[in-house]
Amino acid sequence: MGLFDLTGRTALVTGSSMGIGLALARGLGQAGARVVLNARDPGRLQAAAGTLRAEGLVVDALPFDVTDPDAVRAAVDGYEAAHPIDILVNNAGMQHRTPLEDFPVEAFDRLMRTNVNSAFYVGQAVARHMIGRGQGRIVNIASVQAALARPGIAPYTASKGAIVNLTKGMATDWARYGLNCNAIAPGYFDTPLNAALVADPEFCVWLERRTPAGRWGRVEELVGACVFLASDAASFVNGHVLYVDGGITASL
């Protein structure tokens, strides 16, 4: 199983103080990688880092705002001076649920900065170092909302569609330099971002009927896909979107 071994590699995961990001960081660490947690809240970030260290993982904490391009470049360049980043997981994201006709402009701008701009800022900052080394793995976190829409989240759907196409663009521009750029598109997972939906019995019944697997996903079920795309096992996989959704995009 050496193809999946990440020993000796360093993985930066944005938005990794909780939820999907923390689960992916844990999984990459368990596969052998040194993991770099990122979030804006230093307290929450240090708590998450402490949890993973207590599990025996090698963890660094790198607080910076992924929506601030200057802060991104400073943090990435500073960290790269000591530890080359071999794997980047662009996971930072947010949700805002409002009917489209009432969606506040400032909320739209904030959502796009968090979900799309951040992947460009961090991806570019890390890729510039990866290109010089002739290798690297970038995994962007998209969503089934890149292919499907639901009422009240049109801007989120647009942002995840942008992530899918940004991933294809990254692969098209950077594969020639030895970078592999792919995306994972999670279905409906029980995470803090979906707390309002998880607490809604009517929605849960709808989701269980709509999803062939008949349930919410567990964040741990995303780890295998991430380790695969970050590893040598995916050496000729580029520009791909891997749906991990219990079959929801496969059925009507």
**What amino acid positions are annotated as catalytic residues?**
156
- Contact (CB, 8 A) for 64 and 71: yes
- The DSSP element (H or E) to which 12 belongs, if any, is strand 10-13
- Cα gap 156→188, rounded to integer Å: 14
With contact defined as beta carbons under 8 Å apart, do 76 and 124 qualify? no
Phi and psi angles of residue 86, each rounded to the nearest 5 degrees, phi first: -90, -30
Please tell me the distance from the alpha carbon of residue 127 to that of residue 119, in angstroms, as a whole number: 11
- Residues in Cβ contact with 133 at an 8 Å cutoff, skipping those fewer than 6 apart: 84, 178
Q: Which DSSP helix (H) or strand (E) runs through 177? A: none
The position carrying tokens 């998880």 is: 198
What's the Cα-to-Cα distance from 28 to each of 43, 64, 87, 155, rounded to whole Å? 22, 21, 10, 30
- For the four alpha carbons of 90, 20, 156 and 95, in that order, the dihedral sign comes to negative
